[in-house]
């Protein structure tokens, strides 16, 4: 029993915390009949990451009924853009930051 405890302690001493963060944002559309913005459900949102030479489509998400989309467990430090309907939607690329609990980095609302 003592040996198992020592082995487990030894293994845990070499484990390190993996820094990960999550991105979330919302897609909306302006409706002139009502004079306000409404969330867009069911829209594909692509997470494009710069690898040093080109943009790579790392992952995609689909907006829920509230227009929100989520990308989970991303390593901080990468430069990214959001593509909707095949077009980049952020005014400039952003960097994935390390965020404290609840570990969500909010992306500005995108109006399509």
| Top-confidence range, 10-14, 16-20, 93-97 | 93-97
* Predicted model pTM: 0.79
- The pLDDT of residue 104 is above 80: yes
Whether domain 18-111 has CATH 1.20.1440.230: the reply is no
Integer distance in angstroms from the first to the last C-alpha of the chain? 62
Rounded mean pLDDT, 42-50: 97
Domain spans of the chain, in order of start: 18-111
What pLDDT sits at residue 23? 94
Nearest alpha-carbon partner for 37 in 22, 46, 26: 26
What pLDDT sits at residue 72? 92
Nearest alpha-carbon partner for 76 in 55, 91, 97, 46: 97
Q: How confident is the model at residue 3 (pLDDT cuts 50, 70, 90)?
A: low
Q: How confident is the model at residue 18 (pLDDT cuts 50, 70, 90)?
A: low
Q: How far is CA 87 from the centre of its chain?
A: 17
């Amino acid at each position: 029993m003592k040996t198992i405890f020592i082995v487990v302690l030894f293994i845990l001493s070499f484990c390190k915390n993996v820094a990960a963060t999550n991105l979330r944002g919302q897609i909306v559309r302006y409706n002139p009949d009502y004079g306000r913005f409404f969330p867009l459900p069911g829209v594909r949102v692509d997470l494009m990451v710069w690898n040093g030479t080109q943009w790579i489509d790392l992952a995609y998400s689909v907006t829920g009924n509230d227009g929100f989309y989520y990308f989970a467990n991303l390593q901080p430090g990468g430069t990214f853009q959001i593509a909707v309907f095949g077009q980049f939607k952020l005014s400039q690329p952003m960097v994935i930051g390390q965020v404290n609990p609840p570990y969500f980095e909010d992306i500005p609302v995108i109006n399509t």
